[in-house]
């Protein structure tokens, strides 16, 4: 999608969800690199994430897998999708072990040892997935 005013690609709208505000700030800074992503907000927990997803309509929600709600992943992700229809979900892989995106309902995963360009590429790839 492009912005008609500038003819440039419209940045993907990203909501960052992590319990640690320092991590959220760091991720927001990384996502701004290159102008492909725009962080529309951040949340420190599941309830805040669902409320902000409903209000901000992000394209992608980036989630820390250590959130208590992610233990039941499918229910939390289902609530995010209900709050913001069409939203894609990208989850940090808590380890560097391979993980199936369908195991918790996420559209994509990224290893915790990512490089900045890999994070941005993962957000773009997640945004391109088809929501079931």
pLDDT tens-digit map of 6-62:
455 789 999 999 989 999 999 999 999 999 999 999 999 889 999 999 999 999 999
Question: How far is it, in rounded angstroms, from Cα 116 to Cα 48?
Answer: 26
Q: Is the pLDDT of residue 69 over 70?
A: no
Question: How far is it, in rounded angstroms, from Cα 95 to Cα 114?
Answer: 11
| Mean pLDDT for the chain overall | 84
Residue 48: exposed, middle, or buried by beta-carbon count in 10 A (0-12, 13-18, 19+)?
middle
Of residues 97, 111, 103, 28, the one with CA closest to residue 70 = 103
Annotated domain spans of the chain: 2-128
Q: How many residues does the chain have?
A: 132
Question: How far is it, in rounded angstroms, from Cα 73 to Cα 67?
Answer: 9
pLDDT in tens, 112-126: 888 889 999 999 999
Give me the pLDDT at residue 101, please: 47
Give me the pLDDT at residue 121, please: 94
Higher pLDDT, 6 or 88: 88
Point out which residues pair with 92 in neighbouring strands: 110
Question: How far is it, in rounded angstroms, from Cα 78 to Cα 121?
Answer: 24
Task: Quickly state the pLDDT bin for 106 (edges 50, 70, 90).
Answer: confident
CA angle 8, 32, 9 (to 5 degrees): 15
Give me the pLDDT at residue 105, please: 81
- The CATH H-level superfamily of 2-128 is Response regulator (3.40.50.2300)
Are 38 and 58 in contact, with CB atoms under 8 Å apart? no
Question: How far is it, in rounded angstroms, from Cα 12 to Cα 5?
Answer: 16
């Amino acid at each position: 999608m492009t912005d008609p005013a500038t003819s440039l690609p419209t940045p993907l709208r990203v909501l960052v969800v992590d319990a640690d505000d320092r991590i959220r700030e760091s991720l927001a800074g990384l996502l701004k690199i290159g102008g492909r992503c725009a962080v529309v907000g951040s949340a420190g927990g599941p309830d805040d994430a669902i409320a902000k997803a409903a209000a901000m309509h992000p394209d992608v929600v980036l989630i820390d897998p250590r959130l208590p709600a992610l233990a039941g992943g499918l229910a939390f992700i289902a609530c995010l999708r209900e709050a913001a229809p069409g939203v894609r979900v990208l989850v940090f892989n808590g380890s560097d072990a391979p993980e199936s995106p369908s195991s918790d309902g996420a559209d994509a995963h990224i290893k915790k040892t990512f490089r900045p360009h890999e994070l941005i590429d993962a957000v773009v790839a997640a945004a391109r997935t088809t929501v079931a």
